[in-house]
């Protein structure tokens, strides 16, 4: 059995002066994606547990276990510890929180329009140039010769309809 260290943070309020609270200080996010998620959760009135439950249902409905988001994973995404969550988890968050893909991409730092422009600027090496005679020379293909009594209007197995295969040269 593995023992995990407990993280303690001192939270100062008038009611709980001097008491220690477990976990990381709440409300401190470092990632833009975390801010977007927290804002959406607040607007929809969802808690961490609600998001976890909905992601589990969504994963089962789509038969994609990768869409499941655990509470610790959600916290790590919000805090920025997980900088690039998997596509399935992002899709799950997008669906649950009614977020647009463009907003999520912008929060992660993905700029599709910039990537496309960068791809256009890159020169790609030509890998398999063919000489003109390789394209225009004759080739041999196989075609089926059918039995004379085959009814083409009826569905049947091709093997039973073929009398023999013929090699034909085409250009």
Residue 14 pLDDT > 80: no
Domain boundaries, the chain: 8-114, 132-170
DSSP 25-44: PTT----HHHHHHHHHHHHH
Q: Tell me what the mean pLDDT of segment 146-165 comes to.
A: 82
Q: What is the pLDDT at residue 154?
A: 76
Instruction: Tell me the C-alpha distance between 89 and 48, whole Å.
Output: 14
CATH topology of domain 8-114: 434 Repressor (Amino-terminal Domain) (1.10.260)
Poorest-pLDDT segment among 7-11, 50-54, 79-83, 138-142 = 7-11
Q: Tell me what the mean pLDDT of segment 143-149 comes to.
A: 87
Residue 123 pLDDT > 80: no
Q: Tell me what the mean pLDDT of segment 7-26 comes to.
A: 50
Q: What is the pLDDT at residue 81?
A: 86
Residue 8 pLDDT > 60: no
pLDDT in tens, 49-103: 999 999 999 889 888 899 899 999 998 888 888 878 888 898 899 899 988 888 8
The sign of the torsion formed by the CA atoms of 81, 83, 89, 92 equals: positive
Enclosing H/E stretch for 85 = none
Query: DSSP strand E in the chain: where?
Result: 8-10, 20-22, 139-146, 162-170
Q: Tell me what the mean pLDDT of segment 138-152 comes to.
A: 82
pTM (two decimals): 0.51
Q: What is the pLDDT at residue 121?
A: 59
Instruction: Tell me the C-alpha distance between 93 and 78, whole Å.
Output: 11
């Amino acid at each position: 059995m593995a023992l995990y260290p407990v993280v303690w943070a001192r939270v100062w309020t008038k009611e709980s002066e001097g008491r220690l609270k477990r976990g990381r200080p709440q409300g401190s996010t470092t990632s833009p994606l975390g801010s977007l998620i927290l804002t959406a959760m607040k607007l929809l009135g969802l808690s961490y547990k609600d998001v976890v439950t909905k992601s589990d249902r969504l994963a089962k409905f789509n038969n994609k276990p990768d869409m499941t988001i655990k509470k610790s994973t959600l916290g790590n995404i919000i805090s920025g510890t997980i900088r690039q969550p998997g596509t399935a988890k992002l899709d799950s968050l997008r669906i649950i929180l009614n977020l647009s893909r463009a907003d999520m991409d912008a929060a992660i730092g993905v700029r599709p329009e910039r990537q496309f422009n960068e791809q256009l600027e890159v020169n790609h090496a030509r890998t398999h140039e063919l000489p003109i005679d390789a394209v225009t020379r004759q080739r041999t293909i196989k075609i089926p010769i059918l039995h004379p009594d085959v009814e083409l209007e009826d569905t049947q197995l091709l093997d039973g309809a073929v009398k023999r295969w013929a090699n034909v040269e085409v250009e």
